[in-house]
């Protein structure tokens, strides 16, 4: 769907709570589709940056939600979503029949709890985390994993069309479990690409030429394309901070424990991200796991040289 097509859709009254790296470009897509969007962010300057593009900036989260039929949340974790929905007055501000779309990445049990609490107020809930990063948010090509009631999700098709491709993956909480599975794949693949980069350089080959050589083969992936390029250029400006990648991996571990699952690859990469974040890499892009592996191998080399 082109931007001209999006502009022809009937406008919806939308509140968007959380206008950070992902939220801001999603808001711009909704505005381009002709929707009326009120925005709120804890750091007001991030919301104010959207005013010139047509967004209305609200003083509080509750004020943003008032009179809106749809409320998006794109916040850091489950505690933040819980606080905004139920402690800041958002739930009370919404009328019966409104829909909360939570695009944050949070634990599935928390998403289910939010859905149940909102249902008691006559408010629908869709857990709709996304994948595709800032690039996908800007282009409107996000993969949206939606958990909730089919008719509610179908009723949001015009809104989701501005953001990307939506798939109804199951009942409440299903969107979040699918996002966690997505994050497993992302983290493990980042780890695999980073380890390959370390091996290639140790063997005397060019990391850049190595990446070029395997493009289009069986190792091709979006991670190799985007994060592999970051590793070659050594540009680790955060698109997805490592601390948030670790947060998702901790949530995967919690669910694996709950289901009595043994996920050895996920556990190994979780430990590596934990060490990286503990060592100060929390605000570095998750492709920066390469730095952790380089430091680990440099230290090992130093120890061997001392023998």
Task: Report residue 307's pLDDT band, with 50, 70 and 90 as the boundaries.
Answer: very low
Q: Where do the domains of the chain lie?
A: 3-171, 178-306
Helices vs strands, H then E, count in the chain:
17, 9
Asked if the domains 3-171 and 178-306 are classified in one and the same CATH topology, the answer is no
Task: Report residue 239's pLDDT band, with 50, 70 and 90 as the boundaries.
Answer: confident
* Per-residue pLDDT reduced to its tens digit, 255-289: 999 999 999 999 999 999 999 999 999 999 999 99
* Per-residue pLDDT reduced to its tens digit, 42-54: 999 999 999 999 9
Handedness of CA 179, 184, 187, 192 (dihedral sign): negative
User: By CB neighbour count within 10 A (0-12 exposed, 13-18 middle, 19+ buried), where does 195 fall?
Assistant: middle
For the domain with range 178-306, which CATH number is right: 3.40.50.300, 3.40.50.9100, 3.40.50.720, 1.10.1040.10? 1.10.1040.10
* Per-residue pLDDT reduced to its tens digit, 154-176: 999 999 999 999 999 999 999 99
| Own/partner long-range contacts of 256-260 (Cβ < 8 Å, ≥24 apart) | none
pLDDT at residue number 25: 98
Query: pTM for the whole thing?
Result: 0.87
For the domain with range 3-171, which CATH number is right: 3.20.20.10, 3.40.50.720, 1.10.510.10, 3.80.30.20? 3.40.50.720
**Residues belonging to the active site:** 179
For every residue of 277-306, which 3-state class applies, written as one string?
HHHHHCCCEHHHHHHHHHHHHHHHHHHHHH
Task: Report residue 10's pLDDT band, with 50, 70 and 90 as the boundaries.
Answer: confident
């Amino acid at each position: 769907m082109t931007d001209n097509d999006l502009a022809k859709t009937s406008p919806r009254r939308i509140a968007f709570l959380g206008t950070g790296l992902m939220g801001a470009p999603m808001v711009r897509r909704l505005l381009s589709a002709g929707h009326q969007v009120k925005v709120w962010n804890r750091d007001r300057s991030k919301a104010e940056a959207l005013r010139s593009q047509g967004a209305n900036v609200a003083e509080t989260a509750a004020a943003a939600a008032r009179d809106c039929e749809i409320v998006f949340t794109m916040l850091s974790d489950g505690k933040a979503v819980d606080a905004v929905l139920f402690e800041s007055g958002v739930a009370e501000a919404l009328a019966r029949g409104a829909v909360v779309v939570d695009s944050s990445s949070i634990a599935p049990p928390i998403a289910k709890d939010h859905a149940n609490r909102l249902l008691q107020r006559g408010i629908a809930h869709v857990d709709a985390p996304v994948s595709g990063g800032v690039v996908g948010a800007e282009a409107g090509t996000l993969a949206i994993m939606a958990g909730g009631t089919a008719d509610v999700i179908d009723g949001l098709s015009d809104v989701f069309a501005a953001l990307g491709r939506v798939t109804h993956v199951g009942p409440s909480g299903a969107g979040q479990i699918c996002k966690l599975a997505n994050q497993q794949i992302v983290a493990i693949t980042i780890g695999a690409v980073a380890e390959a980069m370390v091996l290639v350089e140790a063997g005397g080959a060019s990391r850049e030429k190595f990446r070029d050589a395997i493009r289009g083969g069986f190792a091709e992936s979006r991670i190799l394309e985007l994060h592999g390029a970051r590793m070659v250029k050594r540009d680790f400006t955060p698109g997805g901070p490592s601390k948030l990648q670790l947060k998702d991996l901790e949530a995967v571990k919690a669910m694996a424990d709950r289901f009595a699952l043994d996920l050895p690859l996920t556990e190994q990469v979780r430990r590596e991200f934990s060490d990286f974040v503990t060592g100060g890499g929390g605000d570095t892009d998750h492709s920066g796991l390469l730095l952790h592996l380089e430091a680990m191998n440099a230290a090992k080399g130093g120890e061997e040289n001392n023998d």
